[in-house]
Amino acid sequence: MNDAQHAAVESGSLIVAKAAPPATVSIATLYGYQVNELLIWATLIYTTLMIGHKVYAIIKDIRDSRKTQ
C-alpha cells in the first residue's frame, strides 16, 4: 500500500470514528431512546468491562507470582 492509499484509508477511518457517536445518538433517538439512557448504558458497559479487565490482570499476576515461587 503506498502513502496515498494509506492516507485515504486513515482518513476514511477517522471520518467513520468521528461520525459514529452522533449517528448512534441520532438513530437511537429516532427509535425512541433518550440520550441519558444511552449514556447510562454505555457507562454501565464500560465500567463492567474495566472491572473485568482489572480482575483478569489481578488473577494473572497471582498465577505468575505462584509460578515463580
The pTM of this model reads: 0.56
Give the C-alpha separation, 59 to 64, whole Å.
9
Which range of 6-10, 22-26, 32-36 scores highest in mean pLDDT? It is 32-36
Task: Say how many C-beta atoms besides its own lie within 10 A of residue 35's C-beta.
Answer: 10
In this predicted structure, the answer to whether residue 7 has a pLDDT above a threshold of 60 is no
The better pLDDT of the pair 14, 55 is held by 55
